[in-house]
Structures are given as C-alpha cells and as structure tokens.
Structure 1
Amino acid sequence: MLRLVVLLIVAVLPFNSGAREGMWLPMLIDDFNIGEMQEMGFKLSAADVYTVNAASMKDAVVRFGNGCTGGVISAEGLIITNNHCANSAIQKLSSIENDYLTAGFWASSREEELPNEGLTVSILRSMKDVTALVLSGVNDSIRESARQRIIASNIDSISNNAVKDLHYQAVVEPFYSGNRYYLFVYEVFKDIRLVGAPPAGIGDFGGESDNWMWPRHTGDFALFRIYADESNRAADFSPTNVPYKPAHHFPVSLEGVEEGDFAMVLGFPAKTSQYVPSYHVSMLADLVYPKMIELRDAKLDIMDRHIVQDQKIRLQYAAKHSAVANSFKRWKGEIRGLKMLGGVDMKQQYEAGFNTWLNSDSMRIVSYGNILSEYSKLYKALSKYRLAHDYMLELIGYTGIETLKFAGSFERLATLVDAEEVDEDAVEMEKLHLREQAEKHFKDFSRAIDMEICISMFEMMEMDLPQEFRPSFLSIIKNQYKGDYSSFVKALFDNTLFDKHNDVSKFIDKFDKRKVKELKADPAFAIYTDMRNIYYKDINTRYIRINSRIDSLNRVYINALMEYDKERHFYPDANSTLRLSYGEVMGYEPSDGIVYSYFTTLDGVIEKEDPDNYDYRVPEKLKELYHAGDFGQYGMGGTVPVCFVSTNHTTGGNSGSPVLNDRGELIGLNFDRAWDGIMSDMIFNPHLSRNISVDMRYVLFIIDKYAGSAYLFDEMTIVGD
C-alpha cells in the first residue's frame, strides 16, 4: 500500500518538488524560499542566513577537511563536526598507548589541544553569479572541446582576479549542467586543533551495524578549534597563533525539538543526480551497484575476521573499514529504495510526458533534438565502460589493494629519474613525499588482510570483467598457476619489496636511473602497471568521451525541462558548495505496521548494550550516569534525548552540518540519512527521506557530565532552559 501511495503522489509530482525538497543556494533564498520558510515558522530573514557585507549564518558554517561540514559554536573559534568526519584525524593522533579512537580525548586547556597536520577548514566569504563572464566567447556553433577550453580559460581568469592580492582562495563551479556558473571565495584555515572527542562507545555507538539506520543512538560529534594569526587571518600552524574570532557563531539551544518544529540544515553536500534520465538510474541499480556491493562485501568480510581478533588491526583499519562499509550499505539502500518506489518507472513516466510536449512543437524539436533517444544510445554504450571503470578503481583506488596502490605511487619518481634532463630538486622532493607516504602506509597496514583481499579481488575480476578489460596477469594465473590464486598472490607478496618498510626505505634512498629497471620488474608494480594501462588505454578514454557527450546532452535536457515544467523551482544538484535545506522534525512509517518516533533517548543506548559486540559497547561512566539519573539540565522525562530525524534534504558532505531551529539556534548536528529514503540523491520522497541528527542536549550532556569539560560552555552562547 505504501508503494502505491507513493507512486500515485509521484504521478502528480514527478520529482516531489515541494518546499521541503531541495538543496538551495543561500544567496538565492530571498527569491525562491524565504516566504515558504517563514510560513513554516522561520522567524528570521534571508539576510540573516546570507549576506556579504554583514555577519550572517554563512560565516558560522565551515567545510571541514575535504568532505564534511562543521559549525562555529563560540567566539573563540570552537567548531563542532561529526566524530566520523574526525575519524581519520583522530586515528593519526592515536597510538596503542594513546588510543583516542577508542577512549576519546578531551583537552583540559588550550595548551593541550592537538594540532592536525594537513587538516583544513574553509569558510565561504562570498559567492557571485559569473555566468556571463564564464560563457564569454561561447556559442552554439563551436565544438564541445573548444567550448570547454574557452570556459576553462575564462574560469582561470575569473578565479585569479577574484583573489588577487588577497589571502583567499577562489573557485568557479558549474550549476544546472553548465547552464550557470558561480564564483565562490573561501578563507582556508590550516591550523586546526582537536579539542574533544567522545570514546567510540558514544561517538561511534552502533558502528556499521547501525550505519544508515533509524532508530539511532550515536553521539556523533567532535570538537576542534580554528587558530589564526594575530590579524585573525588564516595561517599555517604556529605556536604563536591565536583562536580565530568568527564574524558569527551559532547559539546552542537547550530547548530541544518537538515533532513539527521547523528545522534547517546548512552545509556542503557533495553530489546529487536529481535530473538524470531513467537510463542512468537503471544502469546504476541494475548493473553497477550490484557488482560494487559484491566487491565491498568481500573486502568487509576479510577485514571483519581480522579486526575482531586483533586490537592493533582494529585501530589500523578503523577508517578504512568505515570507508568501505559506508558506500556498501548506501548502495544496498539505494537499490532497495529505487526498487520499492519503482524509481525507473517514475522517471519513465515523467519522460513520457516530456517527450509528448517536445514532439508537439516542431520548433522544440529543432531546438532540443530527440533528447531521450540520444540518451538511450549513449547509456547503452556507456554501461560496460562504467562497470569496468568503477571495478578498476575498486581494485587500485582508495579502498583497493593497498600494496598495488602503494607500488603505483612510485611511478612519478621513475619518470623524473628517467628524464633526459633530471631535475634533482624535483627528485628529492618526490623522494621526501614517498618517505612520508611509506610512513603512513605501513603504520596502518596488515599484510595478511591485503593478501586475502588481493586473492578475492583477482578471482572476482576474472568472473566479472569482459575479456577485453582483463589484465594479462590473469592469464598467467590460469596457465602457469592452474587457476590457483592463493599461490599466485603468495608469490607476489613474497617477491615484492612493497610490503616491507625497511626495503622500501632503502629503495627510495638509493633510487636512480639504475633502479628504474628494478622497479618495473617488481611484481606489485608490474601488476599495478598492467591494470593501470588497461584502465587508461581501454576503459577511461572511452568512458570520458561518452560521458562528455552525456554532459553536453544534460545541458540541453535541463534547459528543456525548465521550459517544459515552468511552474517548478529547479534547485541545482549538489556540488560541494554551501546549500540550505529546510523541513520539519518528523518521524515516519517505513512499512505497514512500523511507526518510527522522531527521537531516541539514552534508554535506547542502554537497551542496545552488548559487551560481546564492539558496535554496542557502552562506557562504564555513561552507564553510571544513566543509572544515577544524573542528567542535569539536559534531561527530558527521566532520560536524555540522543538523536532525532527531520525531513531535510541532505547527502554525503552534509555530515557535520549544523541543524538549526526557527531562530537560527543549533539544535542538532546532522550525521546520516535513514536507509529507507536513501535514494534521495536521485529521487526525494517526503514520506521516507529523513536525515538523522544528534541532539545538542546529548552533546552538552556528554561534554559536561561525561567529559567534565563544561569549561567550554564559558565561551559558547547557550540559550533556553
């Protein structure tokens, strides 16, 4: 019945483009959203959210690292983000003796705050429509390649001029598939120090078992501080730096939430695909995602078997495991959601109406061509390359076979050393870089895990990839090793230098022209090169070429959609730029007979406790506070609220986003989406799409009662009860 109701609604509103759907540009909410926001209860103005010449909420939203969001919560540069966003930084600071991932960390003073090399925080200073400047010199008669060259040149000029003689960074991003362009100017802070993080039993409670799920009981937060120079400007790390003084910081509300309350999210969502055709959805749901799920399932099974047996490996592979598991579960949820809602059928119904409109006017056909027919041809051609592309990245990319990926990182050094005129400075810089890479690699490396993953991936590659995309070493396994993948991989690891730190260090020190031949003969480097050559020669070139044609067609398609669906406000797809989404605090009914409340409490943490399951271990002190009823001013009805759900449209990159009430006060911190509506990157459904946030009352409770760090409240603005 639920699916029927959803399909009936979608038949009327193909993309559910109500006020609660969308990731909107803050600069434009005065034109499109502020009226509806205020009707829903928002008590402030558009200028309170975004303005350039005065302090506004945009000044308190930060891009944390390269893929998360955070919020400024004090006049002393204190920022809050998700614990899982800080996971990698905390892991780098951890050791067996000081396992901050497991035990947590709390600085008792500014002097104890821990620097994080390489971690940055970016704050948007301004944004501007530069479409006319970017498209200067572009017309419909030129080739796509010429168009892109002109646009790239214009963007370089615009970006450079925007920050000339300034300490800012500028980037120009395309919107609506390249129909519009906006300039973003950021201040990028490089001195970021860890202030506090709860133990895994709070900050990662539920672990991968609960990832993407509701109800949830995770205290997913961590605290950092931005440091600046004496002029309050971004600067490299220095002991003389001082806490940053923000133009605005979010007040923190103790009032909490009730169902129906207005909720607003500000953040840097990474990527959505709301306007892709049905062919795109079908390619992912029916072909690509199922194979990627199989690959990651195999990786996770191997990691899990080792992690439960060895504390050292658990620490080493914490971030890697999370990276693999996150998309694994998301892909499964997206397939489930799309199938349940009939996502491809929904898209096709909308496209049928569009096609009827298009073909009813000969001038439209002249202007737009036969768009859907062209999409059909292109996606048919793309599918096998997309599968092979993603497959290869799963093997030698970020979450791939570590030894092969590490061996491949020596390719640039070989090129530099083997040049006719050797740049000695560049060679030494590359050697320094590789030494640093080696330290990081071997610090968190298990030979046993990597060997097992290697065996599994090679076996699956033989079964899944067409012959034209299979690397030559698979034939060696078949013919010389009689299909014995284990023996082949054992020989590989026994004979490569890239799984031994000392050997690698010596190799780097002595690397010269004579060593190039030795590098190329190394089995790990040879296999990496074999796979890399196939990727770039046989897969990626065609993949990029077909995608380029699809990108060009997308630009035409979105223009046509805007003419076809004139009453609709089209929000741009996410692209890691600052966005606003708004909705209500609200539970949901995922299926017949199941009703989910809008909030969870500390009672649920205690109920879920399982000392034999790492995901559900509860710190002793938290249990003591619970049984003593020591909840302070953060309690509600004899317990403490932990998490809540709302109807805000979010995606990856929104992790750590501040969730604000009708007065712009911080009520929660976004950290996930509910599995039942996870297909919202392609199809948003108001009945099922829910974002999950940790309640700020739980955050304050942990900081005060658990960590004993209430001194931080002195610099914060806490409002309410």
Structure 2
Amino acid sequence: MWLPLLIKRLNHVDMQKQGLQLTAEEIYNVNNASLKDAIVQFGGFCTGEFISKEGLLLTNHHCGYDAIAANSTPQDDILKNGWWAMTREQEKKNEGLFVDILVRMEDVTGQVLQGITPQTPEQERSKLVAERSKSLADAAKNNGQYVSYVRDFFNGNEFYMFVYERFSDVRLVGTPPESIGKFGGDTDNWMWPRHTGDFSMFRVYMAPDGKPATYSEKNVPYRPKHHLPISMSPVKEGDFSMVFGFPGRTTRFMTGAGLGMAVEQSNPSRIKLRERRLALMKEAMDASPADRLKLASEYASISNYYKYFIGQNEGIKRMKTLDKKAAEEKAFQAWADANADRKALYGNVLTDINASYAGQRSYNLSTIYRSEAALAAQLMAHAYQYTPLYNFLKEGNADKTKQQQLLNGYKEMNAEFYKNYVPSSDQRIFAELMQMYYNDVPKAQHGDIFKDLTSKHKGDFKKWAAEVYSKSLLSSEAKANAFLANPSLKVLESDPAFKVMRAVQVNYQQNILPKMTEYNAALARANRLFVAGLREMQPNRVFYPDANSTLRLTYGTVKDYEPRDGVQYKYYTTLAGLAEKEDPTNPEFIVPAKLMELYRQKDYGRYGQNGELRVGFITNNDITGGNSGSPVINGRGELIGLAFDGNWEAMTGDLVFDPEYKRCINVDIKYVLFVMDKFAGAGHLVNEMTLVDNGNPNTQFNPSLNDVKMDGKMEIETADSEIKIKKKGNETKIKKETKKKKNS
C-alpha cells in the first residue's frame, strides 16, 4: 500500500519489470494530469474513479447503497429494480454525499517534529504534534477553498499533509438491480468464485466557473484533469494490475503480543459468542418460514464476520506468523542491546509493548463481550439507538421543532426495526449471551449490569429475560410509538431494556474505557519507537506504512490460486457460473429474467469473448476496507475492473499480508458495460466513455452502429484501417480498407 508521492523513488523500476508501461509522472504528478486525478474518495468511506470527461464516476454498488436506497420509494424501488438516467436532467441528487479529489500530498515530517526528541515528554509531544498538524492543515485550506489534514505514518514517525477539493453535488446516474449489484449477498461475501455485479454510477457536478458547489440546476458536469480509458482487451493471467484507492486501516507492525491477544483471546471469544447466537437464530428460522425470512439478513451478516474471525485465526496459524514475529523481535532486541545508544533508546521497547498488551488483556473480554453479547440482542441494540433521545430529554431541551424531528425519525426507525423483529428468538439470545457475559467476564468488571438479575430473579437468566422483554416499552412497535407520543425521561430511564443497556454503557465508559485508554497511550509511544528501530535496523529494506484512509497504490498481477490441496481456483468467473447459482427461493441468488434470457441466447454483444461473458476476476493486489470501488488498472493505465472484496483464505490482511493466498476480488469492467448496455439499455453512457483495445482507441467500439443516427455516409479512421459506412433507407454498407501501418 504505497504512497503515490514516493512511487518514483521506491517502486517504479519494480513496477516496470512486472509490466507497467507508464512513467512515474503519469501515475502521480502535482502540476500535470496523471492517474491520481481520476481517483476520488467517495463519501469519505469508499473509492471511485472518473471514466469520462463529463464527470461520470464509477464505484461499487455497496458504496452507493445508501444513496440508491434514499432515492427509492415503495412506488419506485430502484434499489430492488435498478434504474438508469436516460438524460442528464433525470440524474438524482444526493443530500450529504461528496467526493474528495486530491490536489497534492506533502511530506511535513520536519515541520511537525521540529525540536522534538525521544526525550520529549509524551504529553508535551502529543500537544506539539496536534497543534502543528492543525496549523499546517488550516494554512493549506486557503480560506476554505480546500479540505486538508495531516496524518501520521509509521506509527507517528512521519507525517504527510493531504489537500483535497471537495465536490458536494454528486448525482446518481444509474444502478443495476440489487439482484445483480448484491448477487450472492452475505453468503458469498469474502468468497471466490464470485458473480456479483458490484457497481453503481454517479456524476460529479461543479459550478459554471469550475469551483465546487452545492446542488444547483445551474451546475455543470465536472471535467476531471484525467479520466480512465476502458480496456476492451481480455484480461489474461499474469497481466500487470494496480489498484488505486483509499484503504482504511491496517496494523501490520503489530508485535507478537498484540497478535497473540487477537488469536488467543479476541477472536476465539467472538467466534464462541457468534456461534451460539447463530445456532439460536437457526432454531427459530427452522421452526418458522416467516421467521426465517425476517432473520435471514441479520443471520447472514453475523455469519459473515463469524467466517472472518475464523479465517483470520486460521491464516495466522498457517503462516506461523507468531513464530516469525518472535524471531523478528529477538533480532530486534539483540540489535538494540549491541550498542549503548541504541539500548538506551530501544532496549525497553518490547518490554513496554508486552506490558501494555498484558494490561489490555485483563480488560479485553469486557470490551468484546459488551458488543458481542450485552448489546448483541436486537432489543438491546434498539435500546442503544434511543440514546440521543435520552440525552435530549436529560438536557431539558425546550426546542420543540428539534424534538419533533427527533421523534419523527424514531417512528421511521421503529417501522423498519419491528418489521423483522422476532421477540421469542431475541429473548433467548439475550438470556444465553448475558449468561455467557456473566460467566466469562471477570466479576469485578460487571458493574451494575446484573443488579436486577441477582436481587429480583435470584440468578435465573430466563426469568430476567422474560421480565425485560415483557415489560419494556420497546418490546413492540405499538408500545414504542405510544411512548413517543408523550416521551418522558423518567419512563425511559426506568424501562427494563433501556436500563440494562445504560448499565452496560455506563460500566464500560467509567470502568473499562479509561483503563484501555491508559494502556493504549503507553502502547502508542512504545510502538512508535519499535517501528523507528525496525527501519533503522534494516536500512536496505523498503518499508510501506500502514493504511490510514489516505490514497495508496498497490501493484501485482492477475493470478489464480490453490486454496487447499487438490483445489484450483481459476482467475475469472463467467455468466454461466452465475446461472448455475440461480435459486428463485433465495433472495440472495435470484437472477433477473432478462439477464437469464441474454445468457441463454449468448447475446453478449461486444462484451463477450469466445462465447462467454466474464463477470469477475482476481489479482494479488493488497487491499482492505475503503478500497471498495477502487479501479483495477492495467499496465497502460486503462481500467479493467473494480475492486470490491477480499478472499476468505487471506483474512489476515489487516494484521499481516499473505503473499501466497491474498487475492483481490474484482468485477470485470466488460460485465459492467454489458449490464449497462445490453441489460439496462443505457448504452448512451457507454458511448460517453473512452474505450480502447490493446492500448489504441478503436472507434469500432465507440459508438456501436446500432446507436448511430445518420443519413448519407460516415467515415471512421482507426489505428490501422479506414471504415466507410453508407446508409440508404434500411440498408447499411460497410467497407473497411487497411492502411499502411506506421512505425510506432
């Protein structure tokens, strides 16, 4: 996950050896157009890319999901049915949605750390770093023209400033139906082979003078300095690939003590709690078809991260990561002890790190069980959502308008919540998970959570759960809305469900969080010194910083893999595989009738190859959360796909990179175009893009003859031929004359 600013110095030669044909300046350049100008941070949580000179923007379906849902109505459910703007006027505005376009990044380490030494007291250091970072960022904003911030790298050893232009008029242009954009649902998440058309399309608008502006009918499409041309060439195994985007968070410099806590304590606890929760839900789903439908989505979501934690643990064990960390730390300690100055600076670093993690371990179960057990039941999670109303009532706020807005929001939330609420199943989950909390979390860290259990119900978790679920005002939509008609702080505070939730929260905030914060502060200093020492110890090694939601580039190749003995996964999937997964009884695997008809007829148009249509492909690029929607780019700088997921066999990615199994799952750009053009009839948007074949613009792809309205004749000149088209009535005559090829 390399910083584009440093590509020329650190990576360009290696990238060329693997197949890159671009210069370093064509990838990142402050003064001239480059690839970085086509990449945006979408909504602050995903990545998107420009694919036309008219501000057309591509990202994942799951990144655009909220905007698509917000533009859906019961009468026009575009989330379910899909939708495409056939004119610019039809494009839908999105309140609050924005994109950030990088203007520049700058190394400001010297300014931030000036005069700071290893001997500077930690509190003073933190204060100086915060003040200087803010001052630099504020100055770069140029009186509000830009969005700017300073981020730390290598655990606080380096600092870089990022300056963006923020555009807040981002309009929805189109989305496939959910049955394409979310095909496979949570069941297929993190799994390969994959057949998900995970994409959606937006357009960025600007003021007529070219500056960012809020929504206005007078705004015009943004004209990016660079947009990505789209490759129509087949993706082949071994092809160079790079992913440009905004990966969220990794902690790959974590020591063995931290990894040990994850593998031995955190993940097993999460697996244990989710396993029981899933089993209870499964019982309810098997007993009632109606409850199965209500719980299906939540079940799949819980199962998703259940798989993730299992995969992460298996990967760390398979890679023998703890053994490798132990060897690295032994070498580090020997290196530090071999020199008096190094020993003074780095000699106690690992001891301090181990002490911090030992402290964290003693409170770690309280942190995990709070979210995975105490607040896991639907009723507890719903009670937690009433916290803003509780705060409003407690403050005695007299703003009636604000109160009514708040109450209206709760009524809408209630309608959505109770639609899929199964009280009998949830009551069992509450009783059993709270008993697991009681048994597993140290008693001294319980606080007042179990006060009613012990005083009123003599330790009987089933009786306690029965009272909470029968007497809570949140136990039904009717009771909840009756409360909202006349809200009272006293009533809310005494509600049994809200009272349990508040006890959990207060205990965590007063007794657990301060301790974890204390250990984290000590850990931050020790980790900073450890990373500084590692880099000093290995001066010839090229290090990359952990991800922190800043623009990064990762490069690799299109590559298949063997997940286990005797199994070979091909590097691409096709529409035939999607058809094989079709299950009309399962919402996650419904296939639209028109898509099936196109498949049966093999009507793939210009997007198929050798009688098949590719849906997805995999590369060994290094991605994590935040990379969703990132462009996958070939060696010529052309778009070949969109990254949208990682594979289950390499769930270690946030903690350690797995060079053997790590795969980036991408939707093939030609499947995106096929769905837009052949399935949805939005070929006019394809015509807006720059389609290329083997690096050369070829107008036989853009536009298609079916889309050309013409009389008389038209001549098209391509890289190696001249095409003459004559149209008279219903007859079209095409003549292709080969030209003499020029030297490149």
Judge same fold: TM > 0.5, yes or no. yes
2:456 equivalent in structure 1: 480
- The alpha carbon displacement at 1:656 in A equals 0.9
- The alpha carbon displacement at 1:560 in A equals 0.5
Q: 1:41 and 2:19 equivalent?
A: yes
Contact 2:572 2:618 in 1 (8 A): yes
Contact 1:73 1:249 in 2 (8 A): yes
Partner SS for 1:642? strand
| Selected match of 2:386 from 403, 407, 423 | 407
- The alpha carbon displacement at 1:498 in A equals 4.4
Greater CA drift, 244-253 or 660-669: 244-253
- Cα shift readout 1:149-193 (whole Å, capped 9, x = no counterpart): 222222222222111323321111110111111111222233322
Gap change, CA 1:262 and 1:407, over 3 Å in 2: same
Contact 2:375 2:501 in 1 (8 A): no
| Selected match of 1:536 from 497, 509, 527 | 509
Q: 1:60 and 2:38 equivalent?
A: yes
1:672 equivalent in structure 2: 645
- The alpha carbon displacement at 1:503 in A equals 6.6
Partner SS for 1:282? helix
- The alpha carbon displacement at 1:392 in A equals 1.8
Contact 1:256 1:696 in 2 (8 A): no
1:190 equivalent in structure 2: 168
- Cα shift readout 1:544-601 (whole Å, capped 9, x = no counterpart): 1101111110110001001111111110000010000000111112222222211111
Whichever residue aligns with residue 592 of structure 2, its letter is: P
Contact 1:251 1:666 in 2 (8 A): yes
1:85 equivalent in structure 2: 63
- Distance in 1 (CA, whole Å) between partners of 2:377 and 2:43 is 19
- The alpha carbon displacement at 1:437 in A equals 5.3
- The alpha carbon displacement at 1:692 in A equals 0.9
Whichever residue aligns with residue 631 of structure 1, its letter is: Y
Partner SS for 1:694? strand
Q: 1:172 and 2:156 equivalent?
A: no
2:522 equivalent in structure 1: 549
For 1:207-606, list aligned pairs within 5 A: 207-298=185-276, 324-394=302-372, 401-417=380-396, 429=402, 432-433=405-406, 435-436=408-409, 438-440=411-413, 442-445=415-418, 446-448=420-422, 451=427, 453-498=429-474, 515-606=488-579
- Cα shift readout 1:662-687 (whole Å, capped 9, x = no counterpart): 11110010011111122122222222
Gap change, CA 1:504 and 1:373, over 3 Å in 2: same
Q: 1:123 and 2:97 equivalent?
A: no
Greater CA drift, 604-613 or 435-444: 435-444
- Cα shift readout 1:212-240 (whole Å, capped 9, x = no counterpart): 11121211111122233333333333444
- Distance in 1 (CA, whole Å) between partners of 2:209 and 2:410 is 34
- The alpha carbon displacement at 1:508 in A equals 6.4
Gap change, CA 1:487 and 1:379, over 3 Å in 2: same
- Distance in 2 (CA, whole Å) between partners of 1:302 and 1:108 is 48
Whichever residue aligns with residue 569 of structure 1, its letter is: V
Contact 1:256 1:695 in 2 (8 A): no
Q: 1:616 and 2:589 equivalent?
A: yes
- Distance in 2 (CA, whole Å) between partners of 1:684 and 1:205 is 28
2:708 equivalent in structure 1: none
1:5 equivalent in structure 2: none
Contact 1:407 1:498 in 2 (8 A): no
Q: 1:715 and 2:688 equivalent?
A: yes
Gap change, CA 1:42 and 1:272, over 3 Å in 2: same
Partner SS for 1:679? coil
- The alpha carbon displacement at 1:267 in A equals 0.6
- Cα shift readout 1:233-263 (whole Å, capped 9, x = no counterpart): 3333344433322222111111131111100
Partner SS for 1:193? strand
- The alpha carbon displacement at 1:91 in A equals 3.2
- Cα shift readout 1:35-59 (whole Å, capped 9, x = no counterpart): 1111211111122122222222212
- The alpha carbon displacement at 1:380 in A equals 1.3
Greater CA drift, 25-34 or 204-213: 204-213
For 1:145-156, list aligned pairs within 5 A: 145-156=123-134
User: Any stretches of 5+ residues in structure 1 without a counterpart?
Assistant: 1-22
Identity %: 38
- The alpha carbon displacement at 1:311 in A equals 9.0
Whichever residue aligns with residue 547 of structure 2, its letter is: A
Partner SS for 1:188? strand
Whichever residue aligns with residue 107 of structure 1, its letter is: A
Contact 1:404 1:527 in 2 (8 A): no
Gap change, CA 1:99 and 1:610, over 3 Å in 2: same
Whichever residue aligns with residue 662 of structure 2, its letter is: S
- The alpha carbon displacement at 1:440 in A equals 3.9
- The alpha carbon displacement at 1:525 in A equals 3.2
User: Any stretches of 5+ residues in structure 2 without a counterpart?
Assistant: 694-700, 702-744
- Distance in 2 (CA, whole Å) between partners of 1:124 and 1:342 is 39
- The alpha carbon displacement at 1:276 in A equals 0.9
- Cα shift readout 1:378-427 (whole Å, capped 9, x = no counterpart): 2111113233223323467799732221122234314432xxxx7x56x8
Whichever residue aligns with residue 358 of structure 2, its letter is: K
Contact 2:37 2:101 in 1 (8 A): yes
Gap change, CA 1:432 and 1:125, over 3 Å in 2: farther
Gap change, CA 1:669 and 1:227, over 3 Å in 2: same
| Selected match of 1:646 from 619, 629, 646 | 619
- Distance in 2 (CA, whole Å) between partners of 1:691 and 1:221 is 16
Question: RMSD between aligned alpha carbons?
Answer: 2.9
- Distance in 2 (CA, whole Å) between partners of 1:710 and 1:316 is 39
Greater CA drift, 400-409 or 549-558: 400-409
Contact 1:91 1:315 in 2 (8 A): no
State the structure with more CA Rg.
2
Gap change, CA 1:455 and 1:126, over 3 Å in 2: farther
1:627 equivalent in structure 2: 600
1:637 equivalent in structure 2: 610
Instruction: Give me the TM-score of the superposition, normalised by structure 1.
Output: 0.89
Contact 1:396 1:402 in 2 (8 A): no
Partner SS for 1:83? coil
- Distance in 2 (CA, whole Å) between partners of 1:686 and 1:291 is 28
- Cα shift readout 1:629-650 (whole Å, capped 9, x = no counterpart): 1011111221101111111111
1:689 equivalent in structure 2: 662
| Selected match of 1:655 from 620, 628, 648 | 628
- Cα shift readout 1:464-511 (whole Å, capped 9, x = no counterpart): 322122242424224523555454344334444446667767766866
- The alpha carbon displacement at 1:293 in A equals 2.7
Gap change, CA 1:430 and 1:167, over 3 Å in 2: farther
Greater CA drift, 621-630 or 220-229: 220-229
- Distance in 1 (CA, whole Å) between partners of 2:146 and 2:293 is 39
Gap change, CA 1:39 and 1:238, over 3 Å in 2: same
- The alpha carbon displacement at 1:694 in A equals 0.7
How many residues align structurally? 689
Gap change, CA 1:283 and 1:661, over 3 Å in 2: same
Partner SS for 1:410? helix
Whichever residue aligns with residue 448 of structure 1, its letter is: V
Contact 2:308 2:648 in 1 (8 A): yes
The higher-RCO structure (CA 8 Å, 6+ apart) is 1
- The alpha carbon displacement at 1:518 in A equals 3.6
Greater CA drift, 89-98 or 396-405: 396-405
Instruction: Give me the TM-score of the superposition, normalised by structure 2.
Output: 0.86
- Distance in 2 (CA, whole Å) between partners of 1:477 and 1:606 is 53
Gap change, CA 1:389 and 1:66, over 3 Å in 2: farther
